[in-house]
Amino acid sequence: MSKTFTSKELEEIKAINVGKWDIISEYHRIDWLKAGHNEEESKIHGIVIAIVGYQARLGKEAQKYKLEQKGKEKGISITHREKEQWISVKEFDKIINKISEKYYYKIFSPAIGSLYEKGYSYDEVKKAVGIPSKIGVKVSLDKFLPFL
């Protein structure tokens, strides 16, 4: 682990739970950034891929979607949980806020970025941090520390 944290910070880190939704969104945000897309589009894409993956897991057919502009906001209209939803960068920012901006930028994003750079697939990232395949299972953020 290249970064050091105080005992208080380590307690905070262990109390933050991260799920597959968070990981797949971040993994695909990084993937789109590496493909040359901007940050806003990459965040939106990450969330949409998480929704499409969730729907596939439930046996639903993948939806077609495209990036749209509504006023000043870019986003994607997609049906999720039986209702039409507008997915914008705000949805991704909920992940950052849930993890906490401090630890998102210090631990979560750098750890997934490191694994991505090493060639890990999304499924390999889940396995590396110990997330089982069951829906709804989460792990604490400290599981990401070894990958910094």
Question: Using one digit for the tens of pLDDT, what is the confidence trace for 49-105?
Answer: 888 887 777 777 766 677 788 888 888 888 766 778 888 999 999 999 999 999 999
Residue 128 banded pLDDT, cuts 50, 70, 90? very high
**pLDDT at site 62:** 63
pLDDT in tens, 104-126: 999 999 999 999 999 999 999 99
Residue 73: its H or E element: strand 73-80
| Residues 76, 66: Cα–Cα separation, whole Å | 6
CB atoms within 10 A of CB 40: 15
How much is the pLDDT for 71?
83
Amino acid at 83: K
- Extract the tokens encoding 104: 């998102």
> Regarding predicted confidence, which is higher, 44 or 132?
44
